[in-house]
Amino acid sequence: MEDCIFCKIIAGDIPSQKVYEDEYVLAFRDVNPVCAFHVLVVPKIHICCANKITEENSLYVAKIFEAIAKITKAEGIAEDGYRVINNCGTHGGQTVKHLHFHILGGEQLPMNIL
């Protein structure tokens, strides 16, 4: 997707602070972290949002969650725990229209947000 910022990051046209990469998945630090550890995990194909996950592309979602387990272990936050968030669409507050999962952690997170 030409005008997708995360596709540009995947292509290497926009720099990112990469923390993990494999055939299916790229993970990089959020440019505007909301807590001590804030990483985004994205599929290496353009899927606009959770509404567009299908039988044909759901392997990417499985690979994202495999990557989350690896990243959190490697970064030393797995044992204390973390939160994974996907924002979908307008009501969900999605600002970048390329499917992504936020990994939030590195400190005690507030209990009053989902």
Binding of ligand AMP at residue 96 (CB under 6 A)?
yes
Pick from 61, 93, 51, 21: nearest CA to 12: 21
Whole-angstrom Cα distance, residue 64 to residue 16? 18
Binding of ligand AMP at residue 49 (CB under 6 A)?
no
Among the residue ranges 25-33, 44-52, 60-68, 73-81, the one whose residues contact Zn ion (CB under 5 A): 44-52
- Residue 57 near which of ligand AMP, Zn ion, none (CB within 5-8 Å, type-dependent): none
Pick from 94, 105, 99: nearest CA to 64: 99
| Residues of this chain that bind ligand AMP (CB under 6 A) | 5, 14, 16, 28, 30-32, 40, 87, 93-96
